[in-house]
Chain A
Amino acid sequence: MKEDPGYYEYWPYENRPKISWPNGAKVAFWVAPNIEFYELNPPNNPFRKPWPQPSPALPGYTSRDWGNRVGHARQMQLLDKYGIRGSISLSTALCDHHPEIIELCKERNWEFFSHGIYNTRYTYGMTEAQEREMIKDSIETIYKHTGQKCAGYLAPALSHSDHTLDLFAEVGTELFGEAAGFYSCDLFHDDQPTPINLRQGKRFVSIPYSLEMNDTIAYLVQKITPRRYGKELKDNFDRLYAEGAESGTIMCIPTHNYQVSNAHRIKAYEEALEYITGHSDVWVTTGKEIAQFFLDNYYDAALDDIKNKKQQYGNFG
Chain B
Amino acid sequence: MATLDNDYLKYPERSYGMDHDRYEWKMLQDRKAVQWPNGKKIALWVNVGLQFFPLNQKGIPFKVPGGMTKPYPDLRHYSLRDYGNRVGIYRFFKAFDRFGIAPTFAMNTRLAERLPYLVGTLKERGNEIICHGYDMDSLHYGGQDMKEEEALIARALDGLRSLTAQDIKGWISPAKNESANTPDILASNGISYFCDWANDEMPYDFSTKNGTLVAMPLPTELDDYFIINNNLHAAEDWADQVTDAFEFLLEESSIGGGRVLGLNIHPWVLGQPHRIQYLERVLEKLSSHPAVWSTSGGEIATTWKNQQ
Total of A-B residue pairs, C-beta within 8 Å: 156
Which chain B residues lie closer than 8 Å to A56 at the CB level?
Answer: 142, 178-180
Contact present for B244 and A226 (CB under 8 Å): yes
Which chain A residues lie closer than 8 Å to B19 at the CB level?
Answer: 37, 39-41, 97
Which chain A residues lie closer than 8 Å to B199 at the CB level?
Answer: 61-63, 65-66, 69
B280 CB within 8 Å of chain A: no
B18 CB within 8 Å of chain A: yes
Residue among A39, A40, A70, A124 making CB contact with B200, cutoff 8 Å = A70
A133 CB within 8 Å of chain B: yes
B306 CB within 8 Å of chain A: no
Contact A263-B13, Cβ < 8 Å, known A58-B196, A100-B27: no
Which chain B residues lie closer than 8 Å to A54 at the CB level?
Answer: 61, 141-143
When chains A and B are docked, how far (Å) is the Cα of A131 from the Cα of B63? Answer: 36
B72 CB within 8 Å of chain A: no
How would residues 124 to 135 of chain A score, 1 for a CB under 8 Å from any chain B CB and 0 otherwise?
Answer: 111100100110
Which chain B residues lie closer than 8 Å to A53 at the CB level?
Answer: 61-62, 141-142, 177
Residue among A57, A59, A227 making CB contact with B220, cutoff 8 Å = A59
When chains A and B are docked, how far (Å) is the Cα of A50 from the Cα of B177? Answer: 16
Q: How large is the interface on B (under 10, 10 to 19, 20 to 34, 35 or more residues)?
A: 35 or more
Contact present for B177 and A126 (CB under 8 Å): no
Contact present for A58 and B197 (CB under 8 Å): yes
B15, closest chain A residue (CB): A96
A126, closest chain B residue (CB): B4
Residue among B1, B27, B142, B231 making CB contact with A55, cutoff 8 Å = B142
Which 7 A-B residue pairings sit nearest by Cβ, starting from the closest?
Answer: A54-B142, A264-B245, A263-B245, A62-B199, A65-B199, A264-B241, A223-B231
Inter-chain pairs besides A53-B62, A57-B177, A69-B199, 6 sampled, C-beta below 8 Å: A41-B19, A69-B28, A73-B27, A97-B18, A100-B27, A130-B8
Residues of A within 8 A of B (CB): 37, 39-41, 43, 45-47, 52-59, 61-63, 65-66, 68-70, 72-74, 93, 96-101, 117-118, 121, 124-127, 130, 133-134, 137, 219, 223, 225-227, 262-268
Residue contacts A-B, CB under 8 angstroms, 16 given: A45-B8, A47-B1, A52-B62, A56-B179, A58-B196, A59-B220, A65-B18, A69-B200, A70-B201, A100-B27, A100-B30, A101-B27, A117-B14, A130-B4, A226-B244, A264-B221
